[in-house]
Structure 1
Amino acid sequence: MLATIAEKLATLGHTLPVASVPVANYVSFVRAGNLLSISGQISRIDDENAVLGIVGAPVSIDEGRRAAEIAAINVLSQIAAATDGAIASVRRIVRLGVFVAATPEFNQHPQVANGASDLMVAVFGDAGRHSRAAVGVSSLPRGVAVEVDALVELEG
């Protein structure tokens, strides 16, 4: 297995961004024993909102999947910050919460959420398989289409 999360992402054609800092009164991650809780991460690349809008109109399912993937990459940046980048520190991705800004009629949230789920499995293999909630909401911070949070089990 590769030594770092950044190296694994690079093999998948992605760059691990620097972990973002909170914009309000919370922290980006909390470690409690072997559990690491990652605050919601949005689809931002280099401090720019990557996918803005509402899935279903005008954002397509494919664009929503891409937004979920970008948000998941930002989750990985927080995991890397908490573990000094050591991919071997992650025992399992326990749960993802995927929030999709969607029209009231939109009902394909799982297809959008697969952008995040597929990335976790690509990075961590079987340890990336997780439980998940894919939830539609009326809006998200900064007008982004998707936000992802995570619960991760780390090695003792």
Structure 2
Amino acid sequence: MAKIEAKLAEMGLVLPQPLQMPADARMSLPFAWVRVSGKRVFVSGHVPLNADGTIAQPIGKVGAEVSPAEGYAAARLVALAQLASLQRALGDLDRITAWLRVLAMINVAPAFDQTPRIANGFSDLILDLFGPDVGTHARSAVGMVLPLNVPVECEAEVEIDGP
């Protein structure tokens, strides 16, 4: 078993299935979840998913319907969703040699200003799995309105070993 997969199993974490859009979403998604270009890999915005690929609850704005602790947990689920997409695209998460950049977008109530605290759910999991040499990344955490009223969406860029 690969190193990252073994750590996931050791932590009791399961990578989710691909996103299952809600029936009432009425939108198409004409893009790649993961785009590999040489050693660079661009990961589209992912949302928190349950193991079956459905959107995880709770939904809503952090600081209103969603507590900061729930927002942190949602960001952690986003990291798992990205890892699942990366595994499907790369075949092996151990091919990742560096997490370069993460953009965390948080669906916030008007006065909520703790977006970095929520984004830490994503970053902490990546650092736990990959360690500081590979897992340390540049990051922005911004508040905005998000599609499907999810609390967190993140995109990322990673570097991999050869093709």
Per the TM alignment, residue 148 of structure 1 is displaced from its structure 2 partner at its CA by 1.0
Query: In the aligned structure 2, how far is the partner of 1:101 from the partner of 1:131?
Result: 20
Give secondary structure in 2 for the equivalent of 1:111: helix
Matched, 1:120 2:119: no
Partner of 2:33: 28
Partner of 2:90: 83
Partner of 1:155: 161
Q: When the two structures are superposed, what TM-score results if normalisation uses the length of structure 1?
A: 0.91
Matched, 1:3 2:2: yes
Percent identity, please: 35
Which structure: greater strand fraction? 1
The one-character-per-residue Cα deviations of 1:55-95 (angstroms, maximum 9, x if unpaired) are: 000211100000000011001011111210x2320101111
Mapping for residues 125-144 of structure 1, pairs under 5 Å: 125-126=131-132, 127-137=134-144, 139-144=145-150
Contact 2:106 2:115 in 1 (8 A): yes
Matched, 1:106 2:112: yes
Matched, 1:63 2:62: no
Contact 1:19 1:81 in 2 (8 A): no
Query: In the aligned structure 2, how far is the partner of 1:47 from the partner of 1:82?
Result: 16
- With 10-19 and 104-113 compared, the bigger mean Cα shift is at 10-19
Give secondary structure in 2 for the equivalent of 1:49: coil
The one-character-per-residue Cα deviations of 1:85-126 (angstroms, maximum 9, x if unpaired) are: x23201011111111000121110000000000010011112
- With 4-13 and 103-112 compared, the bigger mean Cα shift is at 4-13
Query: In the aligned structure 2, how far is the partner of 1:66 from the partner of 1:123?
Result: 16
- With 55-64 and 43-52 compared, the bigger mean Cα shift is at 43-52
Q: Aligned-residue CA RMSD in angstroms? A: 1.7
- With 114-123 and 21-30 compared, the bigger mean Cα shift is at 21-30
Structure 1 runs of 4+ aligned residues shifted over 2 Å read 4-8, 18-23
Unaligned runs of 5+ in 1: none
Q: When the two structures are superposed, what TM-score results if normalisation uses the length of structure 2?
A: 0.87
